[in-house]
Amino acid sequence: MTTNDDSEPEPDETESDDGEPNETESDDGLSHPTRDKKHVRALTDGDYADMWVFCETQGGELLEVSKEMLGKARALMDQFEEDYGDEEDVVAFLMGDDCEGLAEECIAYGADVAVYHDDERLERFLHKPYTEIAAHMARGEGTVESTDWREYDEPRYILFPATNNGRDLSAKVQAELDSGLASDCSDLFIEENEVSNPVKTGEPGVKKTVEKVLHMKRPDFSGFEYSTILCLDNPDRDFHPQGASVIPGSFEPLEPDSDREGLVVEHEMDIPDDWFRVEITDYDRLEAGIDLTGHDVIVCLGRGIADDPTAGMELGLDLVDAFEDAELGITRGIVTSSYQFEGHVEAYSKEERQIGETGQVVAPDLYIAAGVSGAVQHKVGMDESDTVVAINTDTDARIGDFSDYFIEGDLFEVLPRLTAAVEAGETALEPEAVADGGDDDD
């Protein structure tokens, strides 16, 4: 789509490659610019506080990412208090047709305040009403009862999930609040920042230190670079809340604590029918599918399990279980085999777990390939992994060309030993000792 000169530190491209017209342009002080003004809602010297978190729901449940953001927001605001001595809140906000219970759940997941809006027409996400309501909430508009818990103009920070709907909402709400946004962030922290950009400081050559700046890190340039984005006030136009959307899976949720105390507030507002010009006539859930991406560890099995496919699969699954966050992948060779798997492992032999060119592309920290020959079509699905460990009886297997460790051995022997060692690993720091540690005895 358009722009992102926001991700571009150097001032502009126009300057370098255009010619005369601009010279005359700058003299043209006579135009009467109006169009854009109608969109300017920014304040100057406003009061800002709290970190707001939009908690997206699906089918009457909080999305995982909503809980993850609450956990992150909690940690950030606890740190904030430590750094600046001010206690500011984590405020969850959400809407739907019946979400008081979900608002309470938000408290359990780390929010201090949860603001919700109920309306049966809001069961599913719709751009217009969701945007209007969110902006209305953020500005503290509405009845006295629903807003007297706060004393600021707009939130200091605001987080949205980087899902299809969450990202759209973030864009529209931030536009409506006349502020900026970094989308698809994978890390957030709050720190001071020394700014020299004249647009932000007001004078060229002057540096200014801004406190409490949300630093938003995001993969950029088609994944080639990480940018850190800041949303900073101009001298005569505030850009608050500082907004970010957050990639699902980037942070850990807190253990829910139903005893946590917090304030649940129902938001009130008249919602005209005119906001419902888009009508949802139907929806279907897609097959859940297996997502092999985003895990710490992938254990991948290949046709090396041929001698006893069911046992091989079990051994692979045992190793998966020994890790905190691991999944089982397979090669195409397994998907298309005629192996007769027993019922309890058969589900793991399907295309949905295939890794490679025509399967999923994964890049875990640790990739363990057992009985995998390493065909090019497989390689492209795992080559970006940090550490690759191959287990293979054949030292000439191609996988050796792109492994960090090559264990020459029979997977039926090697896998159980790895599993035992990893399982015992917590107690014994010396791995050698672990391998022949106590487990065998019981």
Partner 1 sequence: MTDGAEHYEAVVVGCGPGGAAAAARLADHGVETLVLERGTEAGSKNVSGGLLYAEDSAPYTLEDLFDGVREEATERPVTDYYIHNVAGNSVKTYDLGDLHEHDTDWCDAVLRRQLDSWLEKRVHEKTSEVGGGVLTNVRVNGLLREDGEIVGVTCDELDPITADLIVAADGVNSELARDAGLMDWEEPDEWFQGVKAVVDMDPDAIDDRFDIGPNEGAAHLFSGDLFEDVRGGGFLYTNEDSLSIGTVFHLDSLVEREAEPHELLDALLTHPLLAGWFKNEYREREYAAKLVPDSKKVAHREPYRDRLVLVGDAAGQMQAQGPIIKGMNHAVTAGALAADAFAVTRGNADPEAAGRRYAKLLEDSGTMDKLRPRRYELTRTVGEHDAVTNAVERVLESRLGSLAVGNPIADRLLQRAYNSPFLVSMLPDTETGYVSLPTLIAEEHGKTIYWENEIEPPTLAERIGDLTYDTDVGNPHIELRDQSAAASGAAVSACPVSARDFGGGCYRTEAVKTNGTEETLVSLDTQPCVECGTCAVVADTEWEHPRGGKGVEYREG
Partner 2 sequence: MRSIVLTKGVPDFSEGAVSFDEDGHLERGKTPTVMNPNDELALEAALQTKVRHGGHVSGISMGPPGYADVLQDAMASVYTDDSYLLSDRELAASDTWATAITLSAGLEKYDEEVADVDIVFAGFKTADGETGQTGPQTCWALDWPIVTHVVALDIDPEERTLRAKRLVEGDVDEIETVEVPLPCFVVTDPEFEPTYRTASHRLTHKELRAETEERAAEHDDHLTTWDHTDLNLDPDYIGLDGSPTIVSSVDPIPKASSDREATMLDPEDGMGEVLEEMQPYAAEAGE
Ligand X SMILES: Cc1cc2nc3c(=O)[nH]c(=O)nc-3n(C[C@H](O)[C@H](O)[C@H](O)COP(=O)(O)OP(=O)(O)OC[C@H]3O[C@@H](n4cnc5c(N)ncnc54)[C@H](O)[C@@H]3O)c2cc1C
Binding site for partner 1 (CB under 8 A): 303, 306, 308, 332-333, 335-340, 351, 357-358, 373, 375-377
Partner interacting with residue 15 (select from partner 1, ligand X, partner 2, none; CB below 5-8 Å by kind):
partner 2
User: What are the tokens at 426?
Assistant: 């917590």
Q: List, in order, residues 6 or more apart from 63 with CB less than 8 Å away.
A: 55, 56, 57, 161, 163, 248
Whole-angstrom distance between the N-terminal and C-terminal Cα of the chain?
61
Pick the closest to residue 56 from 75, 72, 70, 77 (CA basis). Answer: 70
Q: Under rule CB under 8 A, which residues in 32-51 are in contact with partner 2?
A: 32-37, 39-40
For residues 74 and 66, the answer to whether their CB atoms sit within 8 Å is no
Partner interacting with residue 394 (select from partner 1, partner 2, ligand X, none; CB below 5-8 Å by kind):
ligand X
CB nearer to partner 1: give 58 or 377. 377
* Contact flag: residue 362 with partner 2 (CB under 8 A): no
Stretch that binds partner 2, among 45-53, 79-87, 215-223, 346-354 (CB under 8 A): 215-223
Q: List, in order, residues 6 or more apart from 177 with CB less than 8 Å away.
A: 41, 135, 138, 139, 154, 240, 241
CA distance 115 to 96: 12
CA distances from 442 to 9, 124, 204, 320, 437 (A): 62, 54, 73, 21, 11
Partner interacting with residue 393 (select from partner 1, partner 2, ligand X, none; CB below 5-8 Å by kind):
ligand X
Q: Under rule CB under 8 A, which residues in 50-89 are in contact with partner 2?
A: 56, 58, 61, 63-64
CA distance 133 to 93: 10
CB burial readout 133-170, b (16+ within 10 A) else e: bbbbbbbbebeeebbeebeebbbbbbbbbbbebbbbbb
CB nearer to partner 2: give 81 or 202. 202
Q: Under rule CB under 8 A, which residues in 238-267 are in contact with partner 2?
A: 239
Residues lying near ligand X in the complex (CB under 6 A)? 302-304, 331-334, 354-359, 371-373, 375, 377-378, 381, 391-394, 397, 410-412
- Residue 331: CB minimum distance to partner 2, A: 19
Ranges of beta strands (E only) in 65-148 are 90-96, 113-118
Stretch that binds partner 2, among 111-119, 139-147, 181-189, 250-258 (CB under 8 A): 181-189
- Residue 407: CB minimum distance to ligand X, A: 9
CA 220, distance to chain mean position in Å, is 14
Angle between helices 309-322 and 411-424 (to 10 degrees): 20
Partner interacting with residue 381 (select from ligand X, partner 1, partner 2, none; CB below 5-8 Å by kind):
ligand X
- Residue 131: CB minimum distance to partner 2, A: 7
* Contact flag: residue 435 with partner 2 (CB under 8 A): yes
Q: Which of 7, 44, 143, 336 binds partner 2 (CB under 8 A)?
A: 7
- Residue 424: CB minimum distance to ligand X, A: 23
Query: Residue 193: CA atoms inside 13 Å, Cβ hemisphere, count?
Result: 19
- Residue 353: CB minimum distance to ligand X, A: 10
CB nearer to partner 2: give 259 or 441. 441
Partner interacting with residue 441 (select from ligand X, partner 1, partner 2, none; CB below 5-8 Å by kind):
none
- Residue 52: CB minimum distance to partner 1, A: 41
- Residue 3: CB minimum distance to partner 2, A: 4
Q: Which of 167, 267, 332, 353 binds partner 2 (CB under 8 A)?
A: 167
Q: List, in order, residues 6 or more apart from 76 with CB less than 8 Å away.
A: 51, 157, 188, 189, 190
Partner interacting with residue 212 (select from ligand X, partner 2, partner 1, none; CB below 5-8 Å by kind):
none
Q: What is the dihedral of CA 25, 29, 32, 38, to 10 degrees?
A: 80
Alpha-carbon Rg of the chain, whole angstroms? 27
* Contact flag: residue 128 with partner 2 (CB under 8 A): yes
Q: Tell me how many residues contact partner 2 (CB under 8 A).
A: 137
CB nearer to partner 2: give 170 or 373. 170
- Which residue's structure tokens are 């670079």? 225
Partner interacting with residue 225 (select from ligand X, partner 1, partner 2, none; CB below 5-8 Å by kind):
partner 2
User: What are the tokens at 431?
Assistant: 């791995």
Q: Under rule CB under 8 A, which residues in 192-211 are in contact with partner 2?
A: 193, 195, 197, 199-200
* Contact flag: residue 168 with partner 2 (CB under 8 A): yes
Q: What is the dihedral of CA 7, 11, 16, 20, to 10 degrees?
A: 120
- Residue 21: CB minimum distance to partner 2, A: 7
Q: List, in order, residues 6 or more apart from 85 with CB less than 8 Å away.
A: none
Stretch that binds partner 2, among 137-145, 149-157, 336-344, 399-407 (CB under 8 A): 399-407
